[in-house]
Amino acid sequence: MENQLYSLTIPKAYVKLKNQNDSNFNLDSNLAKLEDKDFIRLSEFITREFGIEMPDIKKVMLQSRLQKRLKKLNLNSFSDYVNYLFSKQGMEEEMIHFVDVISTNRTEFFRENLHFDFLLNTLLPDLCPPGSKEHLKFWSVGCSSGEEPYTLAIVLSEFQEKHSLADFIIYATDISTRILQKAYQAIYKEEQINNIPQGLKSKYFLRSIDKEERKVQVVPELRDKVIFSRLNLIDDYYSTPFIFDIVFCRNVLIYFDRTVQEKIIFKLCSSIRSGGYLFLGHSESIAGMNLPLRHIQPTVFMKP
């Protein structure tokens, strides 16, 4: 008999939610057009406030993504939208939706699986030798819809069953409130967990009682281990609740220029304990940056 999908409950930890380049779009000729002057205002604001590069080639992408906001607000032109966005009311009410629109969220369970193999087979045994009572703290930076922090929770739970790991907590952040709400709910389509071994699927996911819905939800025992919070990576200071043992910041830096990347990683390092680790995405590099990190293996670094 299949388990019923759990209704959404508040995790025991807590939730703190504060206020790729798309290349092919078929745009309706009757829809509003994003004029150059409005695109410049928006792109300069996006780069200044969020550090995200917005070159001219992304104009069509931005236009396409914002069409739903114009419709929702009953606005007829992008000029009206831009003026509203930068008004006092818009800054208070629309900005959170604007950030959701410009955020790119792509992830999957056990993405770049070599990282999780290295964590499970090398780092965790070293951090938690026999007899230790470690309480490990992880940070998933740019957690998107939650697949990465929940993958970490699965790996840590599997390790905890057989080794000396007393407890763990995972802090997960993203700039998009909308995607954080989705991550918090931890509900996914069945095909999103196809690459997870059957034993882990049965153990850590609940199936919907509605077979036609074909959705699953992460078990509450794992959801209770994840804290979600909104964070803008180009803020001057990161107010995090812990100093972390391991930070995953994978496939996030690619959206920033080299100078901003170095500043972000330097701030991340201030939240990593001495002897802690930073994981980057396999397409990202810190070569030539002046950072307090020692190379361990490709895309894995230790703070001495």
Active site residue 100: no
Choose the catalytic residue: 38, 69, 100, 174.
174
48 near 40, Cβ under 8 Å? no
Classify the C-alpha dihedral 124-153-96-280 as positive or negative. Answer: positive
Tokens 């397409």 belong to which residue? 283
With the CA atoms of 114, 119, 121 and 124 taken in that order, what torsion angle do they form, in degrees rounded to the nearest 10? 180
Give 230's DSSP letter: E
Annotated active-site residue 174? The verdict is: yes
H helix runs in the chain, sequence order: 36-50, 59-72, 78-85, 88-93, 95-102, 113-118, 124-127, 147-160, 177-185, 198-204, 220-223, 258-269
In sequence order, the 6+-apart residues with CB closer than 8 A to the CB of 269 are 278, 291, 292, 293, 303
One of 65, 69, 207, 223 is an active-site residue; which one? 65
The single-letter code of the amino acid at 191 is E
Positive or negative, the Cα torsion across 292, 295, 298, 300?
negative
Helix (H, G, I), strand (E, B) or coil at 162: coil
What tokens appear for 105 in the block? Answer: 């969220």
Q: Say how far apart CA 31 and CA 170 lie, in whole Å.
A: 43
220, 6 contact by CB (below 8 A): yes
Catalytic residues: 65, 174
